[in-house]
Structure 1
Amino acid sequence: MILSEKKAGILLHVTSLPSSHGIGDLGSACKEWLDFLVKTEQQYWQILPIHPVGFGESPYQSFSAFAGEELLLDPEWMREKGYLTSSELKNTPIFDDEVVDYQKIGEWKEKLFYQAFLRFRKESGANDFAQFCEQHKDWLDDYALFRAIKKKEKERPWHQWPEKLKKRDSQVIRQFSEENVELIQYYLFLQFCFFMQWQKMKKKYTEQNIKIIGDLPIFVAHDSADVWANSQLFDLKEDGTPRVVAGVPPDYFSVTGQRWGNPHYKWNEMKKNHYNWWSRRLEHLLTMVDIIRIDHFRGFEAYWEIPEEEITAKNGRWIKAPGDELFKELKKQYSSLPLIAEDLGIITPSVRALKKKFGLPGMKILQFSFYPGLKKRERPYEYEKNTFAYSGTHDNDTLVGWIQTEAQENKSIALRIKKQHGIDVYDNVEKTCWALLEVLFSTNAGVVIVPMQDYLCLGSEARMNYPGTIANNWRWRVKKEAIGDEFLAVKIKQLTTKLNRFRKKRN
């Protein structure tokens, strides 16, 4: 994928959208957000992974690499379809409009959705449902079964289930399925609703020429339907636990590195059927989004392997990965791979060569561009055209948070910004934030993406994630007033238009 015209977009996960249901949803929340994007001359909406969140509510530790997050379902859509009644929606709890309370929302929506499912079951015309289940059976059946067993096993991870369920003994699986038809059907129903809602939403974005950038984590969660159903593709011990786990080595930002805990792939096994699991995964996600950000792209060239018993990432080693072979297989499906390489961290010439060979745009982060000792290509005035440039990502502090800490406390950063861009980081912080956003928009990068928190000039309290921690991440929500703020919309539009990143009229 080669970027030609200059464009702009906003990073805001679906969960962060304002709604009366405690979490962003695929109904009116997405519609109001679409209006905001059009009004501000944006052409991209970037989101995080949209799969069912597991451990720590992290979208990067999901129960499935294919299923959709059921909490994003809009109950109003279910009412319109006749699955819920107006009276059943009257007693909606009052939710916090600043943070997502996953437990409270989950408990309320589960009761609501099960009622919708029971009403749906009584319908005679379920052709669309049957067609959906058939179309997605290669992952859907395993996912629904996995969730049903987890429910019965009190949400224990699959490697702690009874041995025959853990090992997918065909007779035991058949018996469980026969005894739990309703529960399995419930999880099928939720996925049916999710994909119906998603496609309805996506159609509106396509009509307005807004492209959605999805996110594909390189690794999947150990406690997932993917690993349970395809254990031969993952590097596991006999008891089902990982032999080695994924992460990254120590660097400037972490003296112990990051131990993510995901299992590694058995790449030799995947090679036997031409990386079919990866082909299916990519093809499936591209039915939902227009472009995919490949998280931790460098892991396709070489990955950091950590012994499972290690509690930090320090004692790992680099292992060569078959990225070249994999992308050759994927290239057979697409004339131009619609992928963004998240090429941050320890990037070697081999990683850059892999990205270049397949014509993938990379990423630049404005916050990382002012540190001493960087190569020239890392500075804002040297960003390449085929680049997606960000003020920050979900893993960074907000731009204001960064200004108030790193930029103001590190004199070399403050001096560089002052000398090269004429910006005083000790000035009014909101003024500084917008001045730095103008620097970003002025770069040669084909696309610039700004997290919504940075347009709102919010501090560290609005940060989405603190890498390496578990508690209180992935919860931030934008307030409804911000989406309706005409002054803010005009300001974003002016910045976008001034620097020639506005929406060009189609013929």
Structure 2
Amino acid sequence: MRAAGVLMHLTSLPSPHGIGTMGAAARDFVDFLAAAGQRYWQILPVCPTSYGDSPYQSFSTYAGNPYLIDLDLLAADGLLEPGEYQNIDWESPPDRVNYGALYQKRWAVLRKACARLLAQPPAAYREFCEKSAFWLPDYALFMALKDAHGGRPWTDWEPALRRRDPAALAEARRRYAADLDFWQGVQYLFFAQWHALKRYANGKGIRIIGDLPIYVAADSVDVWSTPEAFQLDGDLRPTEVAGCPPDGFSATGQLWGNPLYDWDAMAKDGYAWWVRRIRALCATYDVLRIDHFRGFAGYYAIPFGQTDARGGRWRQGPGIALFRAVENALGRPAILAEDLGFLTDDVRALLRESGFPGMKVLEFGFDSRDGGDYLPHTYPRHCVVYTGTHDNEPVNGWFDTAPAADAARAVEYLRLTQAEGYHWGMMRSAWASVADLAIVQAQDLLGLGHESRMNTPSTLGGNWCWRALPGAFTPALAARLRRDMELYGRL
């Protein structure tokens, strides 16, 4: 069935409190999507961000990002007083997120709310803790210990805690009991608001596409609590780390630095770690996009300590065995595969065997640095087409930065006109394609340029900060979008 949606992360929603949240603006955006004839809202990972503010480098694969908790909703629930948050200066213009100010000022507000919650915890809180027992206690302890160690990574903690000596963990739970309560309480608040928002979206006919990063951060509870699942040495340091080889976009490749999985060890228990993870995220979202899908066929391994990705080599991934284990345990969850990057025959075969729809990025069809088949006349129906993703320029930014010959080819192929706007013409080309699902960036709907780019891979600073201005998603824009959904059979 043909359908369409919009890529817009929660942090990018308008808000008077420094960052987009799960409050009124999120529901307003759902209303806009419904009025515009959209059926999907795609977001980035909602897990807590660590250094660098990337949702793809998180302290936990299961936890929710406390920054996304809406303060007005907490006040409506009697957990905050207006004066405790409404006059805080979040030190950011309305179109940007200042993560430094959030780190300095948000936690004190959330601690007040949690103190009131925990003074008389509702039955739903106890139910949440019981349901989340497979991850929540370890997460709470990890975060409490990070605070106690001044934010240092777990690999720098004293040996007994680093190696999870049972006596040391028991003592830490006793010593930091109040902090454990806070970290569990804040997760309850996040998921209470998240599930309320998801119910609202589903009630309006909008399904939420979430994101599963293939790798987890080195400094995460995931690696600390299950080191046997990763390629670590005797001192619990990675032997090799993740990244991408040099290509037309980067002469030195991309050094991500994430620890790599020990796939042989994971295979011995039927990939139980992955089954748990996918089960939890499928319960969080309606559809799951698996990032860097090609890494399950073959992954790029870079020796630990290298300064760039040029010294890496390809190694074999788990292949279809992992997804057979997921299917045996969960049935056929709704999954999209981000099959971009260096594609080889084994990646294409894995995509076919999995049955998942792959991705097409319209900008790549005209980029002379990329050799993939991304022109619309090559698409199968069973795929998802994007104008661009969070790692790409918005369309107008692409036209401003792409080689002139590439831009000219896109104009000629798509018959773009300045009168219509290149951004609108490229979106219309995605909607007109045979792809079952077409997703456009919110920045493209608004006609924004490079200044609104969400992320530039392999760079630090200035990423993940863009926010839409209040009132940007107007009824007139919804009506124009809905008309194109009618024209191209995606309503």
Report if TM-score (shorter chain) is over 0.5.
yes
CA distance in 2, matches of 1:471, 1:90: 28
| Alignment partner, residue 498 of structure 1 | 487
Cα 1:481–1:174 change in 2 (3 A) is same
| Alignment partner, residue 355 of structure 2 | 359
Identity of aligned residues (%): 39
Cα 1:111–1:376 change in 2 (3 A) is closer
Q: Which residue identity does 2:32 align to in structure 1?
A: F
CA distance in 2, matches of 1:341, 1:88: 43
CA distance in 2, matches of 1:391, 1:224: 33
- Where do 5+ consecutive residues of structure 2 fail to align? none
| Alignment partner, residue 443 of structure 1 | 433
- Residue by residue, what CA displacement relative to the aligned partner does 1:424-444 show, whole Å, maximum 9, x if unpaired? 5xx46x612211221111110
- Residue by residue, what CA displacement relative to the aligned partner does 1:218-267 show, whole Å, maximum 9, x if unpaired? 00000000000001111112222211000010111111110100000111
**Does residue 120 of the first structure (1) align with residue 117 of the second (2)?**
yes
**Does residue 49 of the first structure (1) align with residue 77 of the second (2)?**
no
Residue 62 (structure 1) aligned to one of 45, 58, 83: 58
**Does residue 197 of the first structure (1) align with residue 183 of the second (2)?**
no
| Residue 489 (structure 1) shift | 2.0
| Alignment partner, residue 465 of structure 2 | 475
**Does residue 40 of the first structure (1) align with residue 36 of the second (2)?**
yes
Q: Which residue identity does 2:421 align to in structure 1?
A: K
Residue 466 (structure 1) aligned to one of 456, 473, 486: 456
Secondary structure at 2:96 match in 1: coil
| Alignment partner, residue 153 of structure 2 | 157
**Does residue 224 of the first structure (1) align with residue 214 of the second (2)?**
no
Contact 2:118 2:185 in 1 (8 A): no
- Residue by residue, what CA displacement relative to the aligned partner does 1:4-36 show, whole Å, maximum 9, x if unpaired? x11110000010011111111112121111111
| Alignment partner, residue 414 of structure 2 | 421
Relative to the length of structure 1, the TM-score reads 0.94
- Residue by residue, what CA displacement relative to the aligned partner does 1:349-379 show, whole Å, maximum 9, x if unpaired? 1111111112100000010012459879431
| Residue 126 (structure 1) shift | 3.4
Q: Which residue identity does 1:230 align to in structure 2?
A: T
- Residue by residue, what CA displacement relative to the aligned partner does 1:98-139 show, whole Å, maximum 9, x if unpaired? 11111212332211111112222221x532222211111111
Number of matched pairs: 490
CA distance in 2, matches of 1:469, 1:86: 38
CA distance in 2, matches of 1:188, 1:415: 54
CA distance in 2, matches of 1:103, 1:373: 35
Contact 2:31 2:204 in 1 (8 A): no
- Residue by residue, what CA displacement relative to the aligned partner does 1:278-312 show, whole Å, maximum 9, x if unpaired? 11101101111011111000000000000012111
- Bigger drift between 266-275 and 55-64 goes to 266-275
- Bigger drift between 42-51 and 264-273 goes to 264-273
Q: Which residue identity does 2:44 align to in structure 1?
A: L
Q: Which residue identity does 1:481 align to in structure 2?
A: G
Contact 1:337 1:360 in 2 (8 A): no
Secondary structure at 2:476 match in 1: helix
| Alignment partner, residue 397 of structure 1 | 393
CA distance in 2, matches of 1:320, 1:60: 23
Contact 1:40 1:490 in 2 (8 A): yes
Secondary structure at 1:138 match in 2: coil
- Bigger drift between 146-155 and 321-330 goes to 321-330
Contact 2:242 2:302 in 1 (8 A): yes
CA distance in 2, matches of 1:105, 1:489: 32
- Residue by residue, what CA displacement relative to the aligned partner does 1:161-216 show, whole Å, maximum 9, x if unpaired? 11111111111111111111101110000001111111111111111111100000
Which portions of structure 1, spanning 4 or more consecutive aligned residues, are displaced by more than 6 angstroms? Answer: 373-376
CA distance in 2, matches of 1:73, 1:160: 30
- Residue by residue, what CA displacement relative to the aligned partner does 1:454-476 show, whole Å, maximum 9, x if unpaired? 11111111000010011110000
Contact 1:343 1:362 in 2 (8 A): yes
Q: Which residue identity does 1:479 align to in structure 2?
A: L
| Alignment partner, residue 505 of structure 1 | none
- Bigger drift between 490-499 and 447-456 goes to 490-499
Secondary structure at 2:37 match in 1: coil
Cα 1:373–1:166 change in 2 (3 A) is closer
**Does residue 109 of the first structure (1) align with residue 106 of the second (2)?**
yes
| Alignment partner, residue 13 of structure 1 | 9
| Alignment partner, residue 306 of structure 1 | 302
Contact 2:214 2:291 in 1 (8 A): yes
| Residue 415 (structure 1) shift | 4.5
Contact 1:382 1:444 in 2 (8 A): no
Residue 143 (structure 2) aligned to one of 143, 147, 154: 147
Cα 1:326–1:128 change in 2 (3 A) is same
Matches within 5 A, 1:260-279: 260-279=256-275
CA distance in 1, matches of 2:431, 2:104: 43
Q: Which residue identity does 1:330 align to in structure 2?
A: V
CA distance in 1, matches of 2:252, 2:86: 50
- Residue by residue, what CA displacement relative to the aligned partner does 1:317-362 show, whole Å, maximum 9, x if unpaired? 1100112110110111344231111011111111111111121000
| Alignment partner, residue 377 of structure 2 | 381
CA distance in 2, matches of 1:301, 1:468: 23
Residue 251 (structure 1) aligned to one of 243, 247, 254: 247
Relative to the length of structure 2, the TM-score reads 0.96
- Residue by residue, what CA displacement relative to the aligned partner does 1:373-408 show, whole Å, maximum 9, x if unpaired? 9879431122111111000000001100111221xx
Contact 2:248 2:370 in 1 (8 A): no
CA distance in 1, matches of 2:114, 2:412: 62
CA distance in 2, matches of 1:231, 1:420: 50
Matches within 5 A, 1:407-418: 409-411=403-405, 413-418=406-411
| Residue 497 (structure 1) shift | 1.9
Cα 1:132–1:380 change in 2 (3 A) is same
**Does residue 207 of the first structure (1) align with residue 203 of the second (2)?**
yes
**Does residue 289 of the first structure (1) align with residue 285 of the second (2)?**
yes
Contact 1:376 1:382 in 2 (8 A): no
Secondary structure at 1:172 match in 2: helix
Q: Which residue identity does 2:413 align to in structure 1?
A: Q
Residue 186 (structure 1) aligned to one of 172, 182, 188: 182
Q: Which residue identity does 1:491 align to in structure 2?
A: R
CA distance in 2, matches of 1:374, 1:380: 15
